[in-house]
Amino acid sequence: MINLFLEQYGIEEKNKDLYIKNVASVKVVALNVPSQVRKGSEVELACLYDLGNASLYSLKWFYRANDTDLDEQEFFRYTPTIHPVKQFFPLDGINVNINKSEGGRVVIVETNGKTTGKYKCEISIEGTFQTVAAEKLMTVLEEYVFKQPRFQNLFINVNDV
């Protein structure tokens, strides 16, 4: 199969190992998805990657509510060679600030309970369209109102201190 691919794209036999090595080096280096965020906050998700000698075709962000939910949904796409470069696909609970989002970085604003879930970054390269991905869970915590304690009729005996 790989030989047919190499032949189809005119890659000489002597360059085969070098070509395959470069393709195989595409990887997600780090995925920055906070494990917990406060409801109503702004959060930045970041996907750092190493393309080796390849060129980026697309970087996509997907969401799924939980482990039992098999249907992941794309909500942001970055394609540097296709217009529009940035695309946002509306999902309930995921509000993307398109102006602050670029490349492997996506900014979600006004987080809420529906923002909780698994976030996946998927990277595809030009030519072979090899794809690698990584995902992490993010939980949105309800913001609690903390009240100051009130003390009434508090008496302290000097001998107790």
Average pLDDT over residues 124-139: 94
Q: Is 28 helix (H, G, I), strand (E, B) or coil?
A: strand
> In this predicted model, what pLDDT tens digit does every residue of 107-118 receive, in sequence order?
999 999 999 999
For residue 6, tell me if it sits in a domain. Answer: no
Determine the length of the chain. 161
What letter would DSSP give residue 66?
S
Whether this model's pTM surpasses 0.85: no
Q: Where does 69-150 show beta strands of DSSP type E?
A: 73-78, 86-88, 95-96, 105-109, 117-125, 131-141
For residue 89, tell me if it sits in a domain. Answer: yes
CATH of the domain at 108: 2.60.40.10
For residue 78, tell me if it sits in a domain. Answer: yes
For residue 33, tell me if it sits in a domain. Answer: yes
> In this predicted model, what pLDDT tens digit does every residue of 64-109 receive, in sequence order?
998 777 889 999 999 999 999 999 999 999 999 999 999 899 999 9
Total structural domains within the chain:
1
For residue 148, tell me if it sits in a domain. Answer: no
For residue 72, tell me if it sits in a domain. Answer: yes
Task: Residue 127: give the domain boundaries.
Answer: 28-142
* Cβ 40 vs Cβ 111: under 8 Å: yes
For residue 43, tell me if it sits in a domain. Answer: yes
* Cβ 140 vs Cβ 94: under 8 Å: no
> In this predicted model, what pLDDT tens digit does every residue of 13-67 receive, in sequence order?
554 444 444 445 789 999 999 999 999 999 999 999 999 999 999 999 999 998 7
